[in-house]
Structure 1
Amino acid sequence: MAQAVRDGIIKVNPARVTGWQKLYKQAEDELLDPRALALPDWEMLVKLAEALIAASYDNYRGWGDVVLFAASTAGGTRWSPSSGTSTCAGMTSGTRA
């Protein structure tokens, strides 16, 4: 492989790829503790939904509503699209802008 790199056949020696151990360890940890991927609170979820709305065509609010609805139903949260508020044990209540 080193000779193939020297000859210009390939750009990177696949046998010398570094940094994968850290990524593998992180993925392994996330499999053992799925909560490591969870958002910390309701405000962060609302911020994620707002970013999705801002990135969508014509600032379509429906995508934000989908994110909030899916997250609240998965987490046992009660969310009202008309008021933009939620209630859930362990999460703070938030308001949609």
Structure 2
Amino acid sequence: MLTIAALWGLKKIYRPEFKYKKAGVMLMDLNEGKASQATLFDSGVSRMSSAPLMTALDAINKKYGRDTLRLGSAAGPQRWAAKFESVTPHYTSDWAALPRAK
């Protein structure tokens, strides 16, 4: 259906005196308003009523600031942050951090 519409539009605007370049368009997350991908543990019942809840949550956070309200699954004192316990040594990407032999 999208291809038919694209070809129809092309026929309307095409002019042989112009040079054209081929381009692509990616359409992602196309689905019907009530259709959504379920997760392994999703019963589907909670999702049916989540759209109005998310709309209300977004409106409150927009008015009073980010993270004024959060889902219980995102509970915690701070936003997520990476832990640097097993970070690669800096000398792998920073010449000044290379060890020096004496």
Identify the TM-score tier after normalising by the shorter chain. Answer: under 0.3
TM-score normalized by the length of structure 2 = 0.25
Greater percentage in helix: 1
Greater percentage in strand: 1
TM-score normalized by the length of structure 1 = 0.26
Greater RCO between the two (CA within 8 Å, min separation 6)? 1
